[in-house]
Structure 1
């Protein structure tokens, strides 16, 4: 009983002492400072080798001509990758449920571009790219079209044959006013030494004739397509097709340079010079200048004086398709394959790609795509 009383007495004393308890230390942490500078430096030096960032297909550099050339780029802060894989599949298959299983993969690519050579003609394809680092693959290249995830579309337009040719160095063009590149895939129009040496006699004006040059291969059957670039600052360039008989006339019967005349011009503005465009001719040419493409006058049913329907922005690359058997020629924006203009042409002889240059200007033929050695990234 006494032990119980002593125990209760101690509890009472302890309870009373708590009422007046004051801690010896200050409970505030205002003066407490934790130095984490060393840890921050260590964290910044850490390198996490996780999933690589997905590459982005560069549409401005991609093109499909005789083969498929695919370019892509990595994000600026992306770490180096081991290699890339390009996947592609043919569109329009009946079994859409097996879409993923129909992707074909390229060999390892150690750069940011590759050439795909196993594409089937007259088909549409989807392409995507993924990167690999330390055995870990990134997601596929980001979505570029709403109707198909992670893909970019191209149409392989092989319902016609890709026509390969160079400029003909023996066709009779003016070697003084037209300068060919060594590979004969570019031609530039210049004033010429004779004209410049006699320039002191030119005070008020002078007539400069149109100089023609053609491809070194003619077309006598089938459907053929070729593409080229015209320098945007060209003064005037005419491009299209012409028959061998018409070219003989142009090359061997030059106009009188002192008295310029236009083809089919009656001289009295009767409109008879326009009527010839309504019938099939052994040539068809469109005009390029001032960064624009001009469609022949009588080809568009526009009101008199209204030329807006005849003037189009000049494409970066122009494509021409000649259907010899059907007697029709088509002009395309070679980047989008949008048809800009088409008309009937008289294919009674051998037809040639024809180019006429006046003043300053240049034409560059499209190179066939070839697989090249790629540098390691």
Structure 2
């Protein structure tokens, strides 16, 4: 108790020393105490906890509050232990030297059961499971069959509350000695945890004489709430909790440890769990205490953010009012314009109809045209009559036609002057503040890591447009600055400094260069518009190649049979077709004809270093071999008749048959054979495919079909090849995941070339460099290792 009280006083003294003024020191002490008091509040009654119990969710509530909540939810009232706020007996009823009798502790009789619980009949239903609505969790917590009886008291929290009350003098009612004879009752100075009573100094010495067992009792500060000295098991009476189950995260007694439910769990002695947890909490507390400058800076930033929130909310409210005023003004202006158009139409139609009315009135018997015609008929001078009657005749003919085909000169309905505002009303109903873009969806099929990293994404259809994007990436498992990811400091450093960012990326793709080889990068994207940045996309992982990417083209000069082998214009793809000679041979034979093999090589020769390249083989290809070969042996094999097999220089010799195992030197070729959607992995080099810690054996895949000499594996979308010239080693990868498939050896005593072999129909495509994807023109072909043109000229 003294240690706890001195800690609170020490904190107050530090606040006084560091504060610039006395008033500020008092304010800081008051704020710190209020903050600490908030940690001691019960989430139900909002007061300082009293007799707290620990719920299964690790939150603590008052025992009385918990029982009241259960009763309010319809559960039966639990049996609560009496609150120990008074002694079991008074000193007036016994002698000071007489030992107080200890009341017998009630114990449940234990008898061997026969599959039933004590006190429960066989035909009773399942036990009632109590659910407690935990306020901090916001959900119901299952208490178990016994309810609050299974919940342990939080004695540590009780001690903290008592130290806090003693420090700030909350509830400063004097605790009187329970053994002083009235009327000279003195204030208690000590409390005995074993006697569960309060004593003054004289009475404590009197009732705890030296040389007796009472002298070994634990003395504490005076209190009205005595607690048990140790936690005991709720299921086994008087059994101390001596173990901790890490799997269940519960304290166990020796009997609970033997239960079947804890079989296979990680169970530690409580002392070991105490030490480990105490060290962790101490490290975490020390880290937070050492980061007080960061905490103060963040508090300043948060306070500034609160101020900016108020200012920006006022500005946003003004912008909202201005937008509504603009809409109202535009609506009023449009209303005036439409009203003017309606009035003009009304006036025009009224004039047309009025003219038609006047014309019809002229046809009346004694008015207008009829009266004039009657007077005209009275004319007897024939020449004059003919001269004057022509115009009248035209008018009468027109009047008769109008009478027979009467129509209104204007439509009086005004139906097409009605407004359809359903669309506008829907827009006004959906009128809302602008939203940030939704989380983009990364296209994992188009995204890849090659010479550079290419990332492609799209926005969901229901998302609002984005002005630009922010692409963030980091190397997995490495934090800049050398910090470790495992510790507390390393984790925080990773969250703060681990991500690198490309801002204001236009379009839905980005290229990232200057990446480290053979590394896994984590990438994510988010969009931005007037509303700010939206949510991040799901993180994707891309593995960079294990070696520098080799850029080469297919050398079309090696193809003798141009009718069977077609190289693309860009010289990065090739297709094998039957050819005219094969069609003619098949026309004269009823059985299958002999297939020929066509060799195709790259236009570079490797003489040093490690290099990586990738290609894709069409799944419908009959047989395609991909690999490398010694340049001199490739030329020698190339000049042989293509229809004649050469066991010594067959491109797949030594790997499929095992003939090279007896030779000391490495074979001149190293190929993998694939066709009809499968890839063949020779058996004798499986041990090479597990040279990395993160690599998996292809045999563990359910899609792999094994055989005594090898196995077949589903053809990956892209096949990667990595040549280590100094070690004479070739590794084949699934280029999509960079998982090794197979590894072999090749003779590197001379220049080595990428090589491809077609047997029957098939097609392959070299992986295009990411750097060349957005190029406006075809890049200049450059050989950066060693050209093979000079060697060809020398051989010719």
TM-score w.r.t. the length of structure 2 is 0.38
Q: For 2:577 and 2:684, locate their aligned partners in 1 and report how far apart those are by CA, in whole Å.
A: 31
Q: Does 1:138 align with 2:534?
A: yes
Q: For 1:325 and 1:38, locate their aligned partners in 2 and report how far apart those are by CA, in whole Å.
A: 73
Q: For 1:194 and 1:42, locate their aligned partners in 2 and report how far apart those are by CA, in whole Å.
A: 70
- Note the C-alpha offset of 1:127: 1.3
* Contact kept in structure 2, 1:172 and 1:251, CA below 8 Å: no
Partner residue, 1:88: 473
**What SS does structure 1 have at the residue aligned with 2:505?**
coil
**Larger radius of gyration between Structure 1 and Structure 2:** 2
- Note the C-alpha offset of 1:119: 2.6
* Counterpart mapping for 1:152-231 below 5 A: 152-158=540-546, 160-197=547-584, 199-231=586-618
Moved over 6 A (4+): 37-40
RMSD: 2.8
Q: Does 1:101 align with 2:496?
A: yes
Q: Does 1:372 align with 2:757?
A: no
Write out per-residue CA displacement over residues 288-328 of structure 1, whole angstroms, 9 at most, x where no aligned residue.
012110123654699xx934842111111000111110011
- Note the C-alpha offset of 1:118: 3.6
Query: Paired residue for 1:276, among 655, 660, 671?
Result: 660
- Note the C-alpha offset of 1:214: 0.4
* Contact kept in structure 2, 1:240 and 1:285, CA below 8 Å: yes
Partner residue, 2:82: none
Q: Does 1:334 align with 2:334?
A: no
Query: Paired residue for 1:290, among 676, 690, 707?
Result: 676
| CA spacing shift, 1:156–1:306, aligned 2, 3 Å | closer
Query: Paired residue for 2:725, among 305, 311, 324?
Result: 324
Q: For 1:273 and 1:129, locate their aligned partners in 2 and report how far apart those are by CA, in whole Å.
A: 49
Query: Paired residue for 1:73, among 430, 452, 458?
Result: 458
* Contact kept in structure 1, 2:586 and 2:592, CA below 8 Å: no
**What SS does structure 1 have at the residue aligned with 2:557?**
coil
Partner residue, 2:647: 263
Partner residue, 1:351: 752
- Note the C-alpha offset of 1:346: 1.5
- Higher normalized contact order (CA 8 Å, seq sep 6+, divided by chain length): 1
Q: Does 1:236 align with 2:623?
A: yes
| CA spacing shift, 1:261–1:306, aligned 2, 3 Å | same
- Note the C-alpha offset of 1:199: 4.5
- Note the C-alpha offset of 1:74: 1.3
Q: For 2:430 and 2:678, locate their aligned partners in 1 and report how far apart those are by CA, in whole Å.
A: 55
Query: Paired residue for 1:56, among 425, 441, 461?
Result: 441
Partner residue, 1:127: 523
Structure number with the higher strand fraction is 1
* Contact kept in structure 1, 2:678 and 2:712, CA below 8 Å: yes
- Note the C-alpha offset of 1:99: 2.3
Q: Does 1:112 align with 2:508?
A: yes
**What SS does structure 2 have at the residue aligned with 1:161?**
coil
| CA spacing shift, 1:249–1:39, aligned 2, 3 Å | closer
Write out per-residue CA displacement over residues 92-144 of structure 1, whole angstroms, 9 at most, x where no aligned residue.
122432224322221412221111124344543221111111141102113xx
Q: For 1:233 and 1:192, locate their aligned partners in 2 and report how far apart those are by CA, in whole Å.
A: 18
* Contact kept in structure 2, 1:319 and 1:333, CA below 8 Å: yes
| CA spacing shift, 1:293–1:97, aligned 2, 3 Å | same
Write out per-residue CA displacement over residues 259-284 of structure 1, whole angstroms, 9 at most, x where no aligned residue.
x646269xxxxxx9533255420111
List gaps (5 residues or longer) in structure 2. 1-421, 484-489, 650-655, 688-698, 700-705, 777-796
Q: For 1:60 and 1:164, locate their aligned partners in 2 and report how far apart those are by CA, in whole Å.
A: 22
TM-score w.r.t. the length of structure 1 is 0.77
| CA spacing shift, 1:329–1:122, aligned 2, 3 Å | closer
Q: For 2:745 and 2:633, locate their aligned partners in 1 and report how far apart those are by CA, in whole Å.
A: 16
* Contact kept in structure 1, 2:683 and 2:710, CA below 8 Å: no
Q: For 2:634 and 2:648, locate their aligned partners in 1 and report how far apart those are by CA, in whole Å.
A: 16
- Note the C-alpha offset of 1:372: 2.7
| CA spacing shift, 1:184–1:209, aligned 2, 3 Å | same
* Contact kept in structure 2, 1:65 and 1:368, CA below 8 Å: yes
* Contact kept in structure 2, 1:226 and 1:320, CA below 8 Å: yes
**What SS does structure 2 have at the residue aligned with 1:342?**
strand
**What SS does structure 2 have at the residue aligned with 1:276?**
helix
Partner residue, 1:5: none
**Aligned length in residues:** 318
**What SS does structure 2 have at the residue aligned with 1:97?**
helix
* Contact kept in structure 2, 1:83 and 1:131, CA below 8 Å: yes
Write out per-residue CA displacement over residues 309-363 of structure 1, whole angstroms, 9 at most, x where no aligned residue.
4211111100011111001110000011111000222211111111000111001
Q: For 2:427 and 2:632, locate their aligned partners in 1 and report how far apart those are by CA, in whole Å.
A: 80
